[in-house]
């Protein structure tokens, strides 16, 4: 835990008691703040109380006494409209902060020589894999790497601040919306495509939130930017024009004259101008597909900026065990392979998985995003058959009509069972059953992780030699 002493002896409201909210409440109490915690969900409140967090109905409190409102990133801050407690804080001039801002201030309060390094990673897709990969590389190279944030361990639940440590943090757009003080020694931006637009008031707000990862970078810091989409290309050019910060461009589509390229899986380092082949990413079996080549190139660039040698970085990339719920092979039964890509909660993420395999039995559906699966139409020729579940099933069936075979399975259990029967009867060599929903999970599951674990258990019940989940920890 990282104790937060900034509010010692003062009253602090904490609203939202999921993983990050609980960690914030504990860290504030460890720093001697008087914590008043609340959540609208009764079950969540009960879990917090069982964890020793004092509850106080913030709807009935005198807000004039609060020094701050610590807001869970999942709760609307500005759009589509501020939560009622956010409005109450604003009316009483109570500052609204998030867990990442508390972390940032704790780091900045230390003497410069005592501060750890901070590597921040954001993007619409790929940030969890890239975060876990950077952490793995640093650990394999003997560094004290602590991985968390929006992945695995909440930032304030991580080991206490230490000058020789490197905090590798996945940063969501929600978290970035609430930071002002965060300084990343290395800031990684992977890609930007439409997502969470309701929470940011449109595309401009979403882009602005992502750009905040570079907010406090200084000369000598590094901005690693993948330039495979026009938005990130513009951001990279803008930062390079301003000067000061080192901009390290990466790409899985273009052979860069200066940067890191991973075209067709061949990793090249041309940071110093001359392209040097580092290795072949086909030797990293847990990083298939062009999107993972981009992730690997970004992770390589981040680690190079921290002074690690190319050969040691690539050796660590090859040994990366992969990330749970992201193109994770969870089992095989009679030659049929089961791939868990539950983390693919939008069409762009599902596209990456569909591109990685020539043919799949595709399980999709849940709570649909605004774009649906229409953008995936060019890849429907890779779908032997689709098995549709959840709220999106009817809409997805209309999109697939006449373009790919499908059935409305309804539930994940039925989808896996039917897909397995069809794949086994196909006579294909190593058919793939791919759970890549292109949807949020909240109609049938608590979150994408619960959906992925349910998929794993269904495979086990079918008799598969299900593999052990790989979970990143700090």
- Give tens-digit pLDDT for 389-401: 999 999 999 999 9
Q: Which residues contact 172 (CB under 8 A, 6 or more apart)?
A: 73, 122, 127, 150
Residue 469 has pLDDT above 70, yes or no: no
Distance CA 202, CA 370 (A): 12
Residue that has been written with the tokens 């960690």 in this structure? 23
**124 annotated among ligand-binding-site residues:** yes
Neighbouring CB atoms inside 10 A of 182's CB total 26
CA-based nearest residue to 373, from 340, 342, 344: 344
Q: By CB neighbour count within 10 A (0-12 exposed, 13-18 middle, 19+ buried), where does 470 fall?
A: middle
CA-based nearest residue to 472, from 283, 343, 331: 343
What are the structural domains of the chain? 11-97 (3.40.50.720), 110-319 (3.40.1190.10), 328-466 (3.90.190.20)
**129 annotated among ligand-binding-site residues:** yes
Give pLDDT tens digits for 182-202.
999 999 999 998 888 899 999
At residue 467 the predicted structure's pLDDT band, cuts being 50, 70 and 90, is very low
Contact in structure between 15 and 48 (CB atoms under 8 Å) = no
**93 annotated among ligand-binding-site residues:** no
What average pLDDT does this structure show over 11-39?
Answer: 96
**340 annotated among ligand-binding-site residues:** no
**Cα angle for residues 117, 123, 125 (degrees, 5° grid):** 125
At residue 209 the predicted structure's pLDDT band, cuts being 50, 70 and 90, is very high
What phi, psi does 419 have (nearest 5°)? -65, -40
**343 annotated among ligand-binding-site residues:** no
Give pLDDT tens digits for 228-274.
999 999 999 999 998 889 999 999 999 999 999 999 999 999 998 88
User: Is residue 118 reached through a cis peptide bond, with omega within 30 degrees of 0 on the bond before it?
Assistant: no
Q: Where are the beta strands (DSSP E) in 94-208?
A: 96-97, 117-122, 144-149, 165-170, 186-189
């Amino acid at each position: 835990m990282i104790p937060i002493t900034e509010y010692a002896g003062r009253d602090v409201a904490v609203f939202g008691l999921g993983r990050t909210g609980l960690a914030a409440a504990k860290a504030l109490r460890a720093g001697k703040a008087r914590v008043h915690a609340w959540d609208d969900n009764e079950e969540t409140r009960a879990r917090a109380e069982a964890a020793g967090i004092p509850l106080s109905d913030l709807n009935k409190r005198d807000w004039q006494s609060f020094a701050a409102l610590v807001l869970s990133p999942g709760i609307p801050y500005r759009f589509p409209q501020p939560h009622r407690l956010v409005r109450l804080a604003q009316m009483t001039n109570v500052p609204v902060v998030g867990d990442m801002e508390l972390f940032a201030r704790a780091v900045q309060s230390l003497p410069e020589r005592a501060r750890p390094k901070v590597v921040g990673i954001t993007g619409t897709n790929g940030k969890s894999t890239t975060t876990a990969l950077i952490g793995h590389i640093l650990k394999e190279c003997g560094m004290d790497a602590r991985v968390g944030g929006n992945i695995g361990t909440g930032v304030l639940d991580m080991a206490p601040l230490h000058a020789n440590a490197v905090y590798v943090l996945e940063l969501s757009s929600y978290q970035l919306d609430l930071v002002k003080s965060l300084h990343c020694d290395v800031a990684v931006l992977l890609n930007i495509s439409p997502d969470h637009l309701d929470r940011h008031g449109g595309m401009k707000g979403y882009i602005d939130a992502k750009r905040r990862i570079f907010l406090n970078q200084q000369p000598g810091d590094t901005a690693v930017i993948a330039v495979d989409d026009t938005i990130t290309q513009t951001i990279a050019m803008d930062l390079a024009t301003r000067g000061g910060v080192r901009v390290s461009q990466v790409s899985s589509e273009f052979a860069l004259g200066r940067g890191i390229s991973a075209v067709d899986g061949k990793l090249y380092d041309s940071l110093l101008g001359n392209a040097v082949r580092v290795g072949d990413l086909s030797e990293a079996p847990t990083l298939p597909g062009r999107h993972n080549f981009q992730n690997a190139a970004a992770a390589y660039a981040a680690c190079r900026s921290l002074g690690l040698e190319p050969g040691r970085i690539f050796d660590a990339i090859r040994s990366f065990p992969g990330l749970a719920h992201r193109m994770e092979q969870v089992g095989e039964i009679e030659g049929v392979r089961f791939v868990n890509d539950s983390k693919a909660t939008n069409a762009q993420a599902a596209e990456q998985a569909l591109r990685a395999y020539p043919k799949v039995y595709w399980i999709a559906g849940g709570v649909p995003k605004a774009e649906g699966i229409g953008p995936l139409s060019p890849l429907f020729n890779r779908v032997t058959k689709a098995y549709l579940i959840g709220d999106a099933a009817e809409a997805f069936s209309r999109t697939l009509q006449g373009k790919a075979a499908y059935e409305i399975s309804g539930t994940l259990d039925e989808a896996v069972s039917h897909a397995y029967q069809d794949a086994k009867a196909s006579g294909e060599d190593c058919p793939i059953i791919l759970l890549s929903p292109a949807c949020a999970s909240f109609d049938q599951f608590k979150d994408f992780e619960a959906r992925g674990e349910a998929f794993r258990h269904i495979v086990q019940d079918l008799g598969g030699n299900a593999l052990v989940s790989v979970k990143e920890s700090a």
